[in-house]
Amino acid sequence: MAEGIRDKVVILGMGCTKFGERWDKSGGDLLVDALTEALEDAGIEKKDLQAAWLGVHIDEINIGKGGTYASNAMHLPFIPVSRLDNFCASGTEAFRGAAYGVASGAYDIALAIGVEKLKDTGYGGLPDSPAFGQEMVMVGPNATAPGMFAQLATAYAAKHKIPMERVKEAMTHVSWKSHQNGAKNPRAHLRKAVTKEQIMGAPMVAYPLGLFDCCGVSDGSAAAIVCTPEVFKKLKPNQPMVKVKALQIAVSSGEEAAYDKWDGASIMTTRAASKRAYEEAGIKDPRKEISMMEVHDCFSITELCTMEDLWISPDGGAPDDILNGFFDLDGQIPCQPDGGLKCFGHPIGASGIRMIFEMYNQLLGRWPEDRAVKNPKFGLTHNLGGVPNNNVCSIAIFGVD
Amino acid sequence: MMAEHVHQPLEEEIRSIAGYYMVLEEGVLEYKGRQVLYLVQMAAIETSCCGRGGMGFIYVPGYVTALKSRRNRNGLWVSEVERVEGDEDRGEITRLLRARHPGFHQVNFA
Amino acid sequence: MVGITSFGAYVPRYRLNRMIIFGSMGWLNPVIITNARGEKAVANFDEDAITMAVAAGMDCLRGIDRSGIDAVYFASTTAPYKERQNANIVAGALGAGEQIRTADFSASLKAGTTALLSALEFAAANPGSKAVVCAADCRLGKMASTQEMVFGDGGGAVAVGDGDVIAEYKGCYSVSYDFVDHLRGANTKYDRMWEERWIRDLGYQSFIPEAVNGLCAKYGLSPTDFDKVVYPCYYGGARKKINAMFGEDPAKVQDDMLATVGDTGAAHPLLMLAAALETAQPGQKILLVSFGSGCDAMWFEATDAVSKMQDGRGASRWLARRADLDNYQKYLVWRGMAPPELGLRGEVDKETRWSLVWRDRKSILGLWGGKCKACGAQQWPAKRMCVNPDCGAIDQFEPVYLADKGGTIFSYTGDMLAASLNPPAVYGTVSFNGGGRTVLDFTDCTVEDLAVGNAVEFSFRIKFYDPKRDITNYFWKAIPAVEEVK
């Protein structure tokens, strides 16, 4: 009987570059920076790494396919380097690869590293690509992610009979909070607090999503070195240990896009993956037990719906929780303490590991008081890649001993 | 509904990670004997994850009840306004503002 | 008895007032004021001769079983393909089978009537068979030209056979001349014409009467015997003179739609015929004449069954469905007459994978989905496995033609970031009537026109154009359900 990987894998060290428009750095430069910081934090050398998993999404520009570019850039010593792409969950997928490698007993120490170099396109945004397959080139809508997520907002308001003004007010709070948090974070791409009035006055990108409801494109890299608890105790005796409590992925079955049952107002993969993650972590009541979260706020409505899909807010109750400050930095479950995608940035392959980086440092109490979460026990990260009716969701839960 | 409107400085970027917008000018539209405050704005969506674009758009805080009656703690002017409600008035004001500012893509109401 | 069994029409939603053209271009060529009355129909940026022919064909085939179609003929002088049969694309979109005859008719404005004659002769030669003729044109005149003023975009369609005939085919008479009033070479985009006085006096005013008189002589008729007269001629003076030969009653001559649509080229006789059939009475004699490199003159007699097809199909509902195109520059960009900056993103190369298109042709061209024989769930696409999570049956689909089923809006948005020639791009999730859903582009509407739950129809449109390889790809979009005209 499969029992998951709870407490079988711990984080030995992590690194994360500043995210942003890194015109001066290549993908390889960013990988080296993230790796160097992670090795220093872990207190080991490159030769101690036995295997690596690389998370990266786009290959049209960026670092190409396969594991060679990354292995060359970091001059890894002929170890396995496996490239993983699963949309915005790619970073967490790489972490999962490394964690499973260690949990299986195949390796003592493994590297998960994510990177995305997107600012060489010559235009804003991700490159066009047949991301959903060649068949969709012929029949897929002329759609962008904001437009697909905008439909989540209209369907959400309709399903719960909540006036759109109220949903927009909650989305505004979501964005306002991330900007408050991001302003305090030196590694964040955008460090600027905004007023709610400034958010409300912005234009619609895709109704009802405004300019401040959408995330951006960043360059960046993040790395995690994982090992078994036994190896950790040898290398870092008597130090607090951040343990992996759960790692779950769920991928759309195609039901949301073509069958008649999906409500259009929730994300089925998040509901499935989080249920399994809580079971793996032994969490019974996430609203009471989860201490903090980094969720995939690609759009403000995604964060809003995610609060319900993670079984933290009751269905239809997320706007109330959000506006009551439940997810603020000083609320019951701070969400996006590092600024989230909207302020920290979103280099796709690195984002999942960036979120883990925040949970790791919060659990170890390393951040200054003005942005520290008080006495965290469990931290949760969440990625959502794709669009509401067809996507990949990853959930990871961490705890500290 | 009564509300306050904080006047943003003109031609100053209000930036998000996906782009920015700014207020180009403030205007008043006479409508049914009342004065509708509106802002002529522009936006560039240049660093969004999902495309690029931009537009001219108009934002309507509401009917003016007290124009620039005080300054807030940041030194910005604050006006008292009454929100424009109802599809009919919003539609007619949209039509009038579009005629006054051709090419503008959106008329959004607070 | 062989004859017309149904008819259809299509007029694109956007109408450009000719005074807007004059206001934009009159400074250069002030004489275009002479044609500046009324408005012309302009194809949307995602429409061309194929899509408009399909739209007319869909109108014509409402309520008609597609499996009985034995031939599909397409007529146009602006077909997007020189090689790759355009009629096959039309037939696929109409949901016809593949064991049928298809043909393109082109190179003359009488191509529409010649296709109709061929279809009638096909039906006569093959008892029990059915054929459909779909014609459309989207001709271009240069900026500030007479043609730009006069030409309009639209389509007409006629179904023929020997059962349920609504207008019996009685006979024809054709004349063919290498009379070059208008021409376009094989690689020419814009129409070129010779002197208008010559076209009017020697062309319309002599060939149309010659064809009509020839028809009458052949069948022992007089031109005044006809109750409805359908022929194109955009010269008002010439039209008056020709009308005189049909007798005193001006009402029997069908309106030429110049003020509302413009001259739709090879489609125009069939578009006007569709409008005539909307009001035809049993027993009425109908004369149809085309003009272009000669004339085809044909006569029909409406049967008692004609009222059965007077159910809303035809030109009226399309004429009533209109929106102003208040912007000449938009017209130029939509018709490819002025190059817009689409940004670096717009330069991304999109290849067409023909083997993929072949595999998925039913699903792409006809929006064919499937109904699972195991659980009954209708779905699109229907690939191998049923989408119902409680079923999952493999290869159990009964094909379902969804293009004429319509649906309702599940969710929708207007998107300022998606690259579009008519931003914001509008799209949304549509629930098919009968089950299943998918995300489709919307067209012929603005976001403000939509609401969750509203009814939509499906319209065959250009999906994307690959300028590097001159490939036009097509797929279905959603449009707000078109209202019937009472």
Alpha-carbon distances, residue C298 vs A243, C74, C170, C201, C273 (angstroms):
86, 19, 8, 23, 11
- Candidates C38, C58, C32, C49; CA nearest to C153 is C49
Residue-wise pLDDT tens digits, A307-359: 999 999 999 999 999 999 999 999 999 999 999 999 999 999 999 999 999 99
Look up the ipTM and state it: 0.94
Distance CA A388, CA A269 (A): 9
Please give, rounded to a whole number of angstroms, the shortest distance from the CA of B91 to a CA of chain C: 11
Collapsed DSSP state (helix, strand, coil) of residue A111:
strand
pLDDT in tens, C391-427: 999 999 999 999 999 999 999 999 998 888 999 999 9
pLDDT band at A59 (very low <50, low <70, confident <90, very high): confident
Choose among C430, C377, C376, C370: nearest CA to C400: C370
Confidence of residue A2 (pLDDT cuts 50, 70, 90): confident
pLDDT band, residue A115 (cuts 50/70/90):
very high
pLDDT at C232: 97
- Other C-beta atoms closer than 10 Å to the C-beta of C358 total 9
Pairwise CA distance, residues A221 & A34, whole Å:
6
**pLDDT score recorded for residue C459:** 98
The contacts of residue A50 (CB under 8 Å, 6+ apart) are A79, A107, A108, A109, A110
Please state the rounded mean pLDDT for residues A112-116. Answer: 97
pLDDT confidence band for B1 (50 / 70 / 90): confident
- Phi–psi pair at C139, nearest 5 degrees: -85, 150
CB-CB contact of A201 with B59 (8 Å): yes
The residue of chain A nearest to residue B6, with distances taken between CA atoms, is A197
User: What kind of fold does domain C3-334 have according to CATH?
Assistant: Peroxisomal Thiolase; Chain A, domain 1 (3.40.47)
| A346 in active site | yes
Closest listed residue to residue A209, CA positions, set A174, A179, A162 = A174
Instruction: Name the DSSP class of A350.
Output: H
What mean pLDDT, rounded, does chain B reach?
A: 93
Beta bridge partners of C104: C74
Confidence at A1, pLDDT banded by 50, 70, 90? confident
For residue C168, the Cα-to-chain-centroid distance in whole angstroms is 23
Q: How far apart are the C-alpha atoms of A55 and A111, rounded to whole Å?
A: 11
Between chain A and chain C, how many beta carbons pairs sit less than 8 Å apart?
A: 124
Mean per-residue pLDDT, C240-257: 94
Output the six-digit token pair for A135.
Answer: 């068949």
Shortest distance between the Cα of C441 and any Cα of chain A, in A, equals 5
Residue type, position A217, single letter: V
Nearest to A42 by CA among A215, A175, A221, A231: A231
The rounded percent of chain C whose pLDDT value lies above 70 is 100
* Separation of alpha carbons C425 and A146, rounded Å: 12
pTM for the full predicted model? 0.95
- State chain C's mean pLDDT as an integer: 96
CA distance A146 to chain C (A): 7
Neighbours of chain C (3+ CB pairs under 8 A): A, B
Q: Given CB atoms, is A141 within the 8 Å cutoff of chain B?
A: no
Provide long-range contacts, Cβ within 8 A and 24+ apart, for C421-426: C421/C45, C421/C46, C421/C333, C421/C334, C421/C340, C422/C44, C422/C45, C422/C330, C422/C334, C423/B53, C423/B105, C424/A206, C424/B105, C425/A142, C425/A143, C425/A147, C426/C450
Average pLDDT, chain A: 96
Q: For A112, how many CA atoms within 13 A lie in the half-sphere containing its CB?
A: 34
A277/C483 Cα distance (integer angstroms): 51
* Contacting residues of C for A122, CB less than 8 Å apart: 344
Look at residue C348 in the predicted model and tell me its pLDDT: 78
Per DSSP, C51 falls in state: H
Contacts of C424 in chain B (CB under 8 A): 105
On the question of pLDDT at C29 being above 80, the answer is yes
User: Which tens digit of pLDDT belongs to each residue from C322-345?
Assistant: 999 989 999 999 999 999 988 776
Contact B28, B37 (CB under 8 A): yes
Are the beta carbons of B108 and A298 separated by less than 8 Å?
Answer: no
Which chain B positions have a beta carbon within 8 Å of A116's beta carbon?
none
Edge to edge, what strands does the sheet with A220-227 contain?
A81-84, A51-55, A109-116, A220-227, A10-16, A242-251, A390-400, A378-387, A292-294
A 10 A CB-CB count for C82 gives 11
What is the tens place of the pLDDT at every residue in A129-138?
788 999 999 9
Q: Which amino acid does the sequence have at C404?
A: D
Structure tokens at C239: 């039209």
Q: Do A203 and B106 touch (CB under 8 A)?
A: yes
pLDDT confidence of residue B103:
87
Identify which of C377, C388, C429 has the shortest CB distance to residue A264: C429
Residue contact A258–C425, C-beta within 8 A: no
* Structural domains in chain A plus CATH codes: 10-122+219-243 (3.40.47.10), 145-214+244-400 (3.40.47.10)
Per-residue CA distances from C219 to C171, C286, C405 (Å): 8, 14, 44
| Marked catalytic residue, from A57, A189, A346, A382 | A346
> Among residues A105, A85, A76, A89, which one has the least CA distance to residue A9?
A105
What's the average model confidence in pLDDT over C473-483? 96
- Phi, psi for C447 (deg, rounded to 5): -55, -35
Is A160 noted as a catalytic residue in this protein? no
Domain boundaries, chain B: 2-109
Mutate to test the interface with A, among B10, B16, B83 (most CBs of A within 10 A): B16
In this predicted structure, what is the pLDDT of residue B53? 85
Q: If pLDDT is split at 50, 70 and 90, which confidence band does C8 have?
A: very high
Q: Do C413 and A207 touch (CB under 8 A)?
A: yes
Diameter of chain B by CA atoms?
Answer: 44
C428 touches chain A (CB under 8 A): yes
Q: Is the pLDDT of residue C347 over 80?
A: no
Average pLDDT over residues B61-65: 96
Q: Looking at residues C280-288, what average pLDDT do you find?
A: 98
For residue C223, give Cα distances in angstroms to A231, A254, B84, C246, C296. Answer: 103, 64, 65, 5, 15
**Backbone CA torsion sign across A270, A274, A275, A276:** positive
DSSP state of A2: -
Please report, rounded to a whole number, the percentage of residues in chain B having pLDDT higher than 90.
Answer: 86
DSSP secondary structure code for residue C235 in this structure = -
In the structure, what pLDDT confidence band is assigned to residue C150 with cuts at 50, 70 and 90? very high
Residues A201 and A197: their CA atoms lie apart, in Å, by 6
> Domains of chain C: which residue ranges?
3-334, 343-367+402-480
Q: Are A91 and A150 in contact (CB under 8 A)?
A: no
- Interface contact A253, partner C, CB < 8 A: yes
CB pairs under 8 A between A and B: 102
Average pLDDT, integer, range B7-27 = 95
Mean pLDDT to the nearest integer, C77-90: 98
